[in-house]
Structure 1
Amino acid sequence: MKKKITIVSIWILFIYILKQNHLFSLDMDTLKQFISGNTKYAMLLFVALWVVRLLIFIPGVTLMILGGICFDPIVGFLLSMVGMILSETVVYIFSRIFSNEKIIQYLERKHPELKTSLESYNYKLLALGIICPIAPTDAICFLSAAAGLKYSTYILTIIISNIPLMMLYSFIGISFSESLMGIILVVISFVLIAFISIKIWNNFKQKQKTELQHC
């Protein structure tokens, strides 16, 4: 609860600072006019948000949807892909350089099934963790790198797993300015994907718990 309160407080402060400096508006037309007049600056800012998102607690999903709202579909998709690659590359580098026993032990205590699962399923678990909305994606990425997964396999898995989701979230963003039916269809698609992936993830966790109990 304290963690959630802290995150919400940081976001409220961040939005307040932006509004005080006239950099934030709830008016979408005003936002789009600003972006069209400052395209390069807006693109760089968007990619920069991807790079620092873990420090300011921005979920990747939020940025994917924001890309669909603020930019053309293809541009938003490409910017989100570039930002995601940079963001997860930072996670990989941080894990390989700064991971130590204390950090790994903390993550193992918090998610006890992950280490054994990564050793057994490797990049397959990484892919599932990215697709499933309730999976601790960043923890899985960190432990995947710490476990010695090659960067090429790591980043290729992340790219392939994110492509359908990124397209879906971009269409959610586009639909906000289009018809209500578009929003409904995209949301239904998201719910179906989330339901299936959550079911697979929960079955996977249950299987891992059973295996650990028999060890």
Structure 2
Amino acid sequence: MKKNLAVVAIWILTVYIFKENGLLSLDLVALKEYIAANQEYAMLIFIGVWVVRLFAFIPGVPLMIVGGICFGPVQGFILSMVGMAISETLVYVVSKALSSNKFNLFLERKNPQLKALLMKHNYKFLALGIICPIAPSDVICFMSASIGIHYRTYILTVIISNIPIMMLFSFLGITMGESLLGVILILLSAAIILVLTIKIWTNLKQEPCNS
């Protein structure tokens, strides 16, 4: 109950901050004009939302699309990638700090197969967990750090794994309302990637759980 109330409170605070700073508007022209006039400020807020999304359970895909709409596909992609890298670095740091904590042990007991697959496939399973939409990506990132994966390997895997989907959804944001064919092609490409990763994920999950 307390967890749900905290999530709701963070969502309300996020909406309030966006509203007070003129970033919550259905008028895209006015929104883009505001961002153009307050570029650095708007970018900091956007990256900040990426960082707090972990605590507010905000999915990454909507933020990628919003980034494309508000900042354009290239700048939106860069900002989303920066925000993603910072948030997942935070996950890595917290996991390392809690490496012997009961919470980490709780995750391992609750997800024994994930730990076994991480130990077996290392960064390859981390990459799959990031791309696959049905995988608990933040849990996998957290556990990757706990089993001792080097930070450079970890963050490079996070960045490279996010590039395809992040590029597609960043361009989707600017394409919506301009080219129906473009939207269809982007969604089709994303669907193919997601279906393939789901199939791989399902096959791996069916492997015997040997630690």
Q: How much has 1:111 moved relative to structure 2?
A: 2.3
Provide the C-alpha distance between the structure 2 equivalents of 1:7 and 1:116, rounded to a whole number of angstroms. 32
User: TM-score w.r.t. structure 1 length?
Assistant: 0.87
* SS of structure 1 residue aligned to 2:54: coil
Matches within 5 A, 1:45-60: 45-60=45-60
Using the TM superposition, give the Cα deviation of residue 67 of structure 1 relative to its aligned residue in structure 2, in angstroms: 1.0
In structure 2, distance between residues paired with 1:47 and 1:20: 16
| Residue in 2 that maps onto 1:137 | 137
**Rounded Cα–Cα distance in structure 2 between residues aligned with 1:10 and 1:37:** 30
Structure 1 residues 65-74 or 150-159, which shifts more?
65-74
Question: What does 1:6-25 correspond to in 2, within 5 Å?
Answer: 9-10=8-9, 13-14=12-13, 17-18=16-17, 21=20, 23=22, 24-25=24-25
RMSD between superposed Cα atoms in Å: 2.4
Equivalent residues of 1:7, 1:57 under 8 A apart: no
- Give the residue type in structure 1 aligned to 2:145: A
TM-fit CA distance, 1:186: 1.0
CA distance in 2, matches of 1:77, 1:115: 31
Q: Where do 5+ consecutive residues of structure 2 fail to align?
A: none
Deviation per CA, 1:17-56: give whole Å up to 9, x if none.
Answer: 3576363212222211111111111111111111222122
Letter in 2 for 1:95: S
Displacement of 1:58 in angstroms is: 1.6
What is the percent sequence identity of the aligned residues?
Answer: 54
Q: What are the Cα deviations for residues 53-72 of structure 1, in whole angstroms up to 9, with x where unaligned?
A: 21222222222111111112
CA distance in 2, matches of 1:167, 1:121: 26
Distance of 1:96 and 1:11 partners within structure 2: 25
Residue 165 of structure 2 aligns with which residue?
A: 165
Query: What secondary structure is seen at the aligned counterpart in 2 of 1:148?
Result: coil
Per-residue CA deviations over 1:161-213 (Å, capped at 9, x if unaligned) read 11111111111111224222221111111111111110110111011xx345x
Structure 1: which amino acid aligns with 2:159? I
C-alpha contact (below 8 Å) 1:77/1:170 kept by paired residues: yes
Poorly superposed stretches of 4+, deviation over 2 Å: 2-23, 98-101, 108-112
**1:152 to partner: Cα distance:** 0.7
- Give the letter for the 1:84 counterpart: M
Question: Unpaired segments of 5 or more residues in structure 1?
Answer: none
Alpha-carbon distance change, 16 to 53 in structure 1, aligned in 2, over 3 angstroms: closer
CA distance in 1, matches of 2:41, 2:21: 16
Could you tell me which residue of structure 2 aligns to residue 30 of structure 1?
A: 30
Task: Specify the SS of the correspondent of 1:138.
Answer: helix
Give the alignment's TM-score, normalised by structure 2.
Answer: 0.89
How far apart are 1:12 and its partner, in Å?
6.0
Instruction: Give the CA deviation at 1:109.
Output: 3.5
What is the distance in 1 between the residues matched to 2:66 and 2:18? 18
Is 1:41 the counterpart of 2:41? The answer is yes
SS at 1:55 equivalent: helix
Any residues of structure 2 matched to 1:1-215 within 5 Å, and which? 9-10=8-9, 13-14=12-13, 17-18=16-17, 21=20, 23=22, 24-207=24-207, 210-212=208-210
